[in-house]
Amino acid sequence: MTKPTIAGNRTGRKLGQRVKNKKMKASSRQWLQRHINDPYVQRAQLEGYRARAAFKLLEIDEKHGILKGARRIIDLGAAPGSWSQIAAKVTGSTDDDVRVAAIDFLEMAQLPGVKILQLDFLDPAAPEQLMEAVGGTPDLVLSDMAAPTTGHHRTDHLRTMHLCEVAAHFAIEVLGEGGHFLAKTFQGGTEKELLNLLKQNFKQVVHVKPASSRAESVEMFLLAKGFKGRKREADETEA
């Protein structure tokens, strides 16, 4: 994979540009100014990714190798689709042989080799539809889901952690042995029950904050590597 490190501004655009539209709210002007001067935003445009989030996944993969050998990938909270773009490339997914399934309640433009479901992941029908769309057992479940923010830190944390927990249970139900699970979380403490669940089912569980995640952002990523498989569960049921 291409290394995500950024060596200067490769777009030819000047950094440090100011937004001078005085009719905009100050907060909106500041956000837009930060966005257009963000080197990851500029590099995403240059390299054809739909969002700067692509580099978060690439950086995590560079250190932890979660994309290597992946044959089928499920992308939760996929819009606008930069993680799905990477997933389709590494799996060799095509429209004739789809190996990537993506879901989001937001509308998402079509991507070659990606089956897109415009559906809330919490919909009871979502898991079955995702498995049908991906066409086999996934090696990697990605989740960039986050609940719409309310401005209340504790509430936002709890709502996003709920999505992370549901995604973790889904990953445990569908992953092939040796597979990996990566999910967005927020700083503020991952619930002990969720960590225990992942540690019981995966060989390694770590928190990651890639350099491309803005320093002021409270987001982090929870990575569970090396799914142990469901044989143990089957043995316990049989017993």
**Active-site residue, from 184, 199, 225, 231:** 184
Give the separation between CA 148 and CA 159, rounded to whole angstroms: 9
**Residue found under tokens 């995403």:** 44
Residue 106 DSSP label: S
Query: Both tokens of residue 98?
Result: 């789809």
Helix axes 54-64, 39-47, angle to 10 degrees: 90
Q: How far apart are CA 124 and CA 129, in angstroms?
A: 10
Residue 184 annotated to the active site? yes
DSSP 234: H
CB 82, CB 51: distance < 8 Å: yes
Q: Where does 48-191 have alpha helices with state H?
A: 54-64, 82-91, 126-134, 153-174
> Which of the residues are catalytic?
184
